[in-house]
Structure 1
Amino acid sequence: METGKTTRKAYSPIKVYCLPSEREAIAENARAAGKSLSNFLLNVGQGYRVQGITDYERVRELARINGDLGRLGGLLKLWLTDDVRTAAFGAETIHRLLERIEATQAEMAEVMKSIVRPRAS
């Protein structure tokens, strides 16, 4: 082996002819896996199962929504325990709280759908 760093660029490439639509499909799969086109094709060509990556922005959004649900649930629990601090809460306030919990759950479901079925780029 040589004293310098050996890279793949020192060797001949494999050329693959494809239609523009095929190239775009391969490029989209590479983006979904978080890999460069070259690295994606190298991994697939060697028989590796390429795993997709999760959109970290969406995961952060789910964590925020989960925190909101926790706080809303805590308020509801406090009311149900007949705590002195919630004595002034009426049924209307509790109904609004429950509606907000349902809306937050719906928001969370939409974010989960966007992860499972990624939006078009």
Structure 2
Amino acid sequence: MRELFEPSALSASPDWRQRAVDGALVFSPVGDLDLDTAGEFERRLVEIVDRTDAPLVLVDLADVHFIDAGSVSVILRARTKARRRNVTLCVRGLSGVPALVFDALGLRETLICPVPLDDRGQAA
């Protein structure tokens, strides 16, 4: 008997993209950030923070459909680590469920990039 809800259909594994844009490093996860993906998300984000020479790490969540509180905590821990290295870490591209989660946690103003950025990560 086939299960009505197959786990693989409920949680899309994220894809990870990163690029350098005018002195900023843009990290763009794609998919869902949840309990199943939080460990890999944290490993990748911390590695970026540890290795970057860029003064700004931009976490672009435009292609993230779901984020849980644990993955938001990953971003907060990475931000603390970045600050110790004099690197600014901020978030952009919030919409849908991720925007609701950030709002419910009261973190939109804390983590959103302070300067409006265009699609290439540049100050608008």
Give the TM-score range, shorter chain: under 0.3
Q: Normalized per residue, which structure has more strand? A: 2
Structure having greater relative contact order (Cα 8 Å, sep ≥ 6): 2
Structure with the larger helix share: 1
